[in-house]
Structure 1
């Protein structure tokens, strides 16, 4: 890891807030540039109204999914050409590197850096600077928000690579030691404890105050909503480790379920980032670059289930009138425009994705599915039976996309519709039989795995377009059952049937932090920096 140097820096986002403007494009995204203050304002000048701390938060919030500088090419490498494809949501109608790329498991070193570097430069570095400026004592409520955002951002990073630098970040020197993923998760839970306690006490003492409001791109400064997010995030992480450490998962999950601050329950609670000039990256990737299409798995499930959300998620294929048509991951893609007539994220028909569409990090529907799985696992106080919570999750997701009560009722009662076979009209080599016969209607007589598959399949549908979380859940559970890659160019590193499990560590770490990254490799179960290596929580 690059040497971390923190000197007094006046974040331009804070200056923009003081001046009353909301543009954010001028704020640096590189933490090594924190010593380039040309404004003439001192740290003391910015202490009014917490600007000297709060000014960093727009950068942090908008760099979890996408990045602060609105450079879509970075996001394309951060998530769109890996997790979005590995989750079955999306794939690219583009023959990048003559089809020798991450989507066919031929890992391109330069493609594996952005997920790591953007998080450290744009999230961890400003949070470290907030800490350096004394937020823990001067503005503990701001620090609590920073911890929630830190966990939200960095669990995505550890869930891509496994071990990561975490506890040692900012300790100085030219290297940063990696923590095993079990320790990273342990710190996540402790940081959420601190955040929850701090915000709960603040709200009790100051019920009408919203000092974070002008920096808040998610909840407008409402700390009660942030507590719900923190609890929901704890439940997500608890479920994530359930197969590896069931006892700890139960403790943490039940803590989230029992907390008086509650969980995300309605769509107004959804965690969506917007404002400060933030743009949705899929709009550019689809409309300007024609680099993003529906994944074959989405076609199989949504068309097979006659799912009313499909028109909110995707446009009809222009090459096949009246049909939704996806592309199977790892297909041999011929040069543009051959595959650009397939379905794309909904930018034209229902216009779900525009430049100004808020960026979705977590939705209430996901939390109901988490609670359904908690009930299935026998955890205390999930708030209903697995069936009740499963059906509530479907209903809340449908409501998010404007489905009416009749459509929701009919969908939940459907015990015949199944995912369809995939047929590629351009190349029959890519055709595949449906991966599962799982239906929608709950079957109480079914076993644990049938019930879990039903829960995770609907959770997967409800989570679109957030492919990072969907890929993590697929690796954890094996659900939904996704089409395998057509062409596996990993040279044996990835088992086609098991599918890809992680990204290799960035090549930048091998050049700047070689000794520590080599220690990190020994923390992986198979002690290989391989895309086929399982993470700590990814227990077979």
Structure 2
């Protein structure tokens, strides 16, 4: 019975029809065919099924969702992979010119995925108990991703009334509200973790940690640390306080490969594999291979295959932002595919991310449980261990990124854009060591480009090659890259007054050249 219910709800609970994603969430974003709470009361099937439908927000396992959000935006702007297709138009993400229709994908996909199960869990639980706090944690995680794309979003006012439209939070209000809800979720999950094992049904539908609440608390603290780092340039005191809370909590943050968040929700096979390898639509980024080839990084052959166009078996990535008129052109087929299989798990939070965030915090003088050098070096060790690489003398290496040599069109070749090396130098400047930390955070996060895009916008690091073809019509520069995406058209269709109010919360026009509140360093 449970599996039939789960199939029904997971397959049909998210409504992506003509109604707007913030329109009266509880009425429009609930599947009318789904069993009612009363019909499933007493056997945990309802909450287990709903948890199973919200957890994929942590890592988009459905291939079309992954392609439109993680590949085209996160991996592209975080320089993990480069597009090998133009999808029939010169208006696409890689060349800084996405269509209006595509720009809304992150909002229009994630908001219903978050709120359909969240509201149902809230209504069943009465805002108490394990399932509610678990879902609330995932709500914060997903909302951060949506905000990283657009800036202001609806959050604190969702579900507070019966109106058809929902007001947006400006970004300071949003972060305060997300921190508040995250703290409530952490407290609730700690209570659940202290109570011992969760039900077998909840273990079965937990694609990340198989019901281990202690690891979910670490996940939540790592998310808090991630959010804190966004704010270092705009709310440094709040950033420090929240980062120190996360790190110094007795429950801890993710710090070992056994605690990293990898998802087994891959219903059609690993979506990163399907999009880049089976569909032939992406190659490893030239930026990534420039750094890792220069470093002789032992993780590189675990990230990418030798380039088909290399006679010597080198791993060579493709430049970002090449306007591809035909996917079969040698401009794309010659370059390295990511090394991934249909059975590989999908990354959400790596084991090394928190170490590098802590290293950055220590560099800023925060209490992160060690010196910047100690935390940075442990981050590298943990990343190597997580990927099954032998570290060797990497931490003593003074090697620098390599020049990029294109395999066909020599105009794509470029000198290295950075001289940063893996070896930590306590006598170096703040910016030099910040760059070193952010570069290794980027390399350790492969292929989670969303975090790298956020780090690039708030710090200016890593340094990357400019896109080959910048087709932006709104002033996006090759040096600073895409700063955000404009608000989705669906919101103008159904929530017009509120999205227009949100436009006034931006420090500039509602386009891709306007900085987010926290992203003004670069």
Name the TM-score, length of structure 2 as normaliser: 0.92
Q: Tell me the distance in 1 between the aligned counterparts of 2:302 and 2:266.
A: 25
Q: Are 1:301 and 2:291 counterparts? A: yes
Per the alignment, residue 19 of structure 2 pairs with none
Q: Are 1:409 and 2:392 counterparts? A: yes
Asked whether the 8 Å contact 1:315–1:324 carries over to 2, the reply is yes
Asked whether the 8 Å contact 1:59–1:122 carries over to 2, the reply is yes
User: What's the CA shift for 1:368?
Assistant: 0.6
Q: 1:281 to 1:24 in 2, by over 3 A?
A: farther
Q: Tell me the distance in 2 between the aligned counterparts of 1:99 and 1:476.
A: 28
Aligned alpha-carbon RMSD (Å): 2.1
Per the alignment, residue 11 of structure 1 pairs with none
Per the alignment, residue 518 of structure 2 pairs with 537
Q: Are 1:503 and 2:507 counterparts? A: no
Picking from 134, 137, 140, the partner of 2:125 is 134
Per the alignment, residue 32 of structure 2 pairs with 36
Picking from 522, 525, 528, the partner of 2:504 is 522
Picking from 86, 110, 114, the partner of 2:105 is 114
Name the TM-score, length of structure 1 as normaliser: 0.89
Picking from 148, 151, 163, the partner of 1:162 is 151
Asked whether the 8 Å contact 1:135–1:142 carries over to 2, the reply is no
Q: Tell me the distance in 2 between the aligned counterparts of 1:120 and 1:305.
A: 40
Q: Tell me the distance in 1 between the aligned counterparts of 2:354 and 2:253.
A: 7
Q: 1:200 to 1:217 in 2, by over 3 A?
A: same
Q: Counterpart of 1:91 in 2: which secondary structure?
A: strand
Q: Counterpart of 2:262 in 1: which secondary structure?
A: strand
Map 1:28-107 → 2, pairs under 5 A = 28-30=13-15, 32=28, 34-37=30-33, 42-66=36-60, 70=62, 72-107=63-98
Q: Counterpart of 1:82 in 2: which secondary structure?
A: helix
User: Unmatched 5+ residue regions in structure 2?
Assistant: 17-27
Q: Are 1:390 and 2:344 counterparts? A: no
Q: Tell me the distance in 2 between the aligned counterparts of 1:431 and 1:297.
A: 11
1:378-416 CA distance string (max 9 Å, x none): 112x12111111011001100111123xxx13111111x
User: What's the CA shift for 1:60?
Assistant: 1.0
1:248-289 CA distance string (max 9 Å, x none): 111111111211111112100001121584632111112321
User: What's the CA shift for 1:42?
Assistant: 4.6
Q: 1:24 to 1:400 in 2, by over 3 A?
A: farther
Per the alignment, residue 347 of structure 2 pairs with 360
Q: How many residues align?
A: 505
Q: Tell me the distance in 2 between the aligned counterparts of 1:515 and 1:492.
A: 24
Q: 1:355 to 1:27 in 2, by over 3 A?
A: farther
Q: Tell me the distance in 1 between the aligned counterparts of 2:153 and 2:90.
A: 30
Asked whether the 8 Å contact 1:62–1:278 carries over to 2, the reply is no
Asked whether the 8 Å contact 2:151–2:171 carries over to 1, the reply is yes
Q: Tell me the distance in 2 between the aligned counterparts of 1:107 and 1:224.
A: 41
Moved more, 166-175 or 309-318: 166-175
Q: Counterpart of 1:133 in 2: which secondary structure?
A: helix
Q: Are 1:181 and 2:181 counterparts? A: no
User: What's the CA shift for 1:22?
Assistant: 7.6
Per the alignment, residue 375 of structure 1 pairs with 362
Per the alignment, residue 3 of structure 1 pairs with none
1:358-392 CA distance string (max 9 Å, x none): 21110220011011111111112x12111111011
